[in-house]
């Protein structure tokens, strides 16, 4: 099945400009409407087998979600700066809330995404999310550790750092698996067969890229040691390999994890083939950044469109069975999506 992105930079520029202008004129209130317009544009210009996707969310739940997020952030900010005695309670409350936020926003996005008159569904619950993100208590340990400054002790600090570094890929696999296996379309749930070791490999190679960059930077630094003190340009020359290494490693991780998750995912009769390349993505990041910088932001819509096009061009959907395996129910009807708008907790917490 052919997947294509048909958005045009000119068209999206107009949408971007008009919606940003209205957002500024309304002191941000319109941003919820703007989000709907932009998402509608992206969804309806991605076509699978000729049919565009549909984004069905209404602005009011998004506005509600943004207000809630703003209040939560203000509480966090105020407790960090003015009422530090409250900070531990705020952190605990944040940890209790986080799984709920993840579940709600995943459910919101799935329910308001539709393809061929059928909506997606996300049926993960709070308890599962809690177990997934606080697996082995790693993140709580991290938060508590930073509160009591365990990092101060060099041995405890490096032991914790090593522990997190090595378990993170397995943690990420669990998180991705939670999202994929709880997402459903037409009664079929996603299945992720990627292993933690495969996630680890991606991060390990990205780490190697950083190490190589560090070694090159160190070598340049040693070679230029004499001139380093005199010229500020020598300093730029030494830090350049580190920047390049960072961008490459970042792009490599993005491409590697995307490819891994898509290629190991099955959804009913469908499988996916993602062929992103770290080098390609890195080139995209750098040229996007330069273009946005040089145009004082005016080329942002162009950068967004070409990035989406690049991503769509590197994703293929393979049909290995009958599409009739997907069978919709009352709850996946597009009409049902709108019916829940009145529900209080129906809000979009993803920003």
Partner 1 sequence: MNAATATLAGLYYDGRRPIGAPTTLVLAGKGAVLIGAQISQRLATVELRVSPRIGRADRFIDLPRGGQFQCADHPLLDRLPQEVRTEGVVAWLEQRVAVAIASVAVILSLLSAGYFYGLPAAANYIAMRIPIETEDAVGRRSLAWLDENKWFRPSQIAPDMQARIRQGFDELRDGLPQASRCRLEFRDSPVIGPNAFALPGGTIVITDAMVQTAESPEEVLAVLAHELGHVERRHAMRHVLQDSAAAVTAAAVTSDAASLGVAVAGLPAVLAQTKYSREFETEADDFAFQLLRRRGLSPEAFATLMERLTRKQQDAERAFAFVSSHPVTAERIRRAREAAKR
Choice between 223 and 298, CB closer to partner 1? 298
* Among residues 304, 312, 315, 347, the one that binds partner 1 under rule CB under 8 A: 304
Q: Give the integer Cα–Cα distance in Å for 94 and 72.
A: 9
Is the Cβ of residue 10 or residue 127 nearer to partner 1 in the bound state? Answer: 10
28: contact with partner 1 by CB under 8 A: yes
From residue 185, alpha-carbon distances to 22, 33, 99, 317, 324 in Å are 35, 26, 22, 15, 12
Token pair recorded at residue 227: 């001139």
Site for partner 1 in 163-182 (CB under 8 A): none
Min CB(245)–partner 1 separation in Å: 14
Give the nearer residue to partner 1 in terms of CB position, either 21 or 219.
21
- Separation between Cα atoms, residue 280 and residue 297, nearest integer Å: 22
Interaction between residue 324 and partner 1 (CB under 8 A): yes
Q: Minimum Å distance from CB 117 to partner 1?
A: 4
Q: Which stretch binds partner 1 (CB under 8 A): 1-9, 123-131, 199-207, 208-216?
A: 1-9
Angle (deg, nearest 10), helices 232-263 and 278-294: 130
Tell me which of 52, 140, 196, 280 binds partner 1, using CB under 8 A. Answer: 52
289 belongs to the binding site for partner 1 (CB under 8 A): yes
CA-nearest of 197, 196, 194 to 264 is 194
Q: Do residues 202 and 170 lie in contact, with contact meaning Cβ atoms separated by under 8 Å?
A: no
Instruction: Closer to partner 1 by CB, 23 or 198: give it.
Output: 23
Tell me if 299 sits within 8 A of 250, measured CB to CB.
no
Q: Which stretch binds partner 1 (CB under 8 A): 95-103, 121-129, 210-218, 320-328?
A: 320-328
Burial of 37 (0-12, 13-18, 19+ CB in 10 A): middle
Using CB under 8 A, which residues numbered 116 to 155 contact partner 1? 116-118
């Amino acid at each position: 099945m052919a997947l294509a992105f048909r958005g045009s930079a000119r068209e999206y520029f107009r949408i971007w400009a008009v919606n940003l202008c209205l957002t500024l004129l309304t002191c941000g209130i319109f941003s919820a409407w703007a989000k709907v317009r932009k998402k509608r544009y992206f969804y309806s210009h991605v076509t699978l087998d000729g049919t565009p996707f549909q984004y069905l969310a209404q602005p009011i739940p998004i506005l509600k979600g943004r207000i809630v997020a703003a209040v939560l952030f203000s509480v966090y900010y105020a407790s960090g700066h003015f009422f530090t005695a409250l900070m531990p309670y705020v952190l605990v409350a944040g940890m209790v809330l986080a799984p709920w936020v993840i579940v709600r926003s995943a459910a919101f996005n799935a329910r308001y995404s539709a393809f061929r008159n059928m909506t997606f569904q996300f049926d993960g619950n709070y308890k599962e999310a809690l177990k997934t993100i606080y697996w082995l208590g790693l993140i709580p340990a991290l938060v508590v550790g930073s509160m009591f400054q365990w990092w101060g002790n060099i041995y405890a600090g490096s032991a914790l750092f090593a522990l997190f570094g090595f378990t993170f890929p397995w943690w990420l696999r669990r998180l991705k698996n939670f999202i994929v296996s709880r997402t459903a379309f037409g009664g079929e749930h996603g299945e992720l067969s990627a292993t933690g070791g495969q996630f680890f490999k991606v991060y390990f190679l990205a780490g190697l890229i950083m190490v190589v960059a560090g070694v090159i930077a160190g070598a340049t630094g040693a070679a230029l040691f004499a001139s380093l003190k005199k010229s500020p340009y020598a300093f730029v020359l030494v830090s350049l390999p580190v920047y390049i290494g960072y961008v490459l490693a970042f792009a490599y991780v993005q491409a590697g994890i995307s490819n891994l998750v898509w290629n190991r995912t099955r959804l009913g009769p469908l499988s996916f083939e993602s062929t992103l390349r770290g080098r390609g993505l890195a080139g995209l990041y750098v040229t996007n950044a330069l273009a946005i910088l040089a145009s004082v932001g005016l080329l942002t819509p162009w950068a967004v469109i070409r990035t989406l096009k690049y991503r769509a061009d590197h994703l293929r959907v393979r049909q290995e069975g009958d599409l009739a395996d997907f069978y919709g129910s009352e709850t996946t009807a597009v009409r049902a999506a709108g019916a829940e708008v009145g529900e209080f907790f129906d809000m979009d917490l993803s920003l």
